[in-house]
Structures are given as structure tokens and as C-alpha cells.
A and B are shown apart, each in its own frame.
Chain A
């Protein structure tokens, strides 16, 4: 993984962990929404492509959240 991708994976997991702690029942939804609101399209496309390539390093909730992003616009 590149340095930036490694960082995106770490950030996605951090967000997922927080939402899992805050609201376990809708952690993936909240994580996905957070990525849509605060990550620029290129970052979202990069993490979506990473998931499509196996998603090494991503936790379960982060995977689920990223999976809900639109892979074409990552929106």
C-alpha cells in the first residue's frame, strides 16, 4: 500500500471504531455518511478501489461502510 492509502485505511478504521462505539446498530451507515460528508471524491474512490482489491487492513464496519459508497462517483 502507498503511504496515502495506508493513511486512508487507518482513518476509515478510526471513524468506524468511533461510530461503532457511539451507535453500534447503525455504525456502518454513520461511517458511510461521514465519508460522504468529509472525504473528497478522490479519497473515496481510492478507498473504494482498495476495498474492491481486497481491502487489506480494513475492519468489518469500515468495509461495510465503504461498500455502501457508489464505486463510480464514490458518492
Chain B
């Protein structure tokens, strides 16, 4: 991967898309081979590597008992991002959750809960995004803002690896595809 590059991972169910992303973010140890970040093995980089990546998994990682704003502030706080009120509002507006700031996440729909999680992408400044089935449960406008978030990220020199069945149809021409077979 080079700055600004985008890789779409496709493949049948069970072909290992999720495993690949989990290996890339360091949650899973590969049985052979190694993952290098700027020439160094991510195992030896440890937390330094985590400052560079944002992983978005199958499960949205949203706490039911916390409100939309609290979920976002905690996620930002844990990643070491100082979040101003204005920035929080902007991020939530971006993902279409304006007006739902103080609603507990358990009262949100599945798509909205994923949007809460996606708001992380709008505030983070990491260089590599690893997104697993990011479009699940999202409506058309949801897909559109994910696309625009990724396009902005790539334009800023970021990288993204996305496992998805749907085509993201990015306007930039740098997209590569990786088809996994069982």
C-alpha cells in the first residue's frame, strides 16, 4: 500500500476477508508470514502501529447504555484525540445523526448504530483504515457519506483496505481489487 491507495477485498463468504483484516490490524497472528508497517513488523511496533490505523469490525463497537455523543467522545478519548464540542457536532452531522446526540445507542436502529461507529472515521487522523463490511445496514445516503469519507481520506494521502461485497465506486482511479478464493 502506498499513500492514497485503496484496496477493495472481495470474495465469497468464508474466504477469509475478515481474517485478513484482523491479521492486518494485529488482532490475529498469521500462521505464516508477517505484516510490515514502514519496514518494521507490526508485532514489534505494538502501540505505535495502533496510532496509525483505524479498524472497523463486524460488530459496531457501540455501547448500548451510552448516548451517541458519549460513545463518540469515549472512542475519541481512547484514541487520544481531544474532541471539542463543535468537532463532535460536526462529526455527528456528517454521519446524519444530528438531533440524536443524547439518545442512548440502544434506542437507535442498526444502521444508526453503525453510523455512530462510523463517526470515528470523521474525527480520526490515522493513516490506514481497515474497514470490514462497512456498508452493512447502511442506506443510500449512508453509503454516500462513507464513500465521501474514504475519498477525502485518500486525497489526504491516507490508505484504506475495505472488505465488502458492494462496490464502493470511488471516483478516484487508484482503487485496486483483491479477490480471495477458498
Asked if chains A and B come from one complex, the reply is no
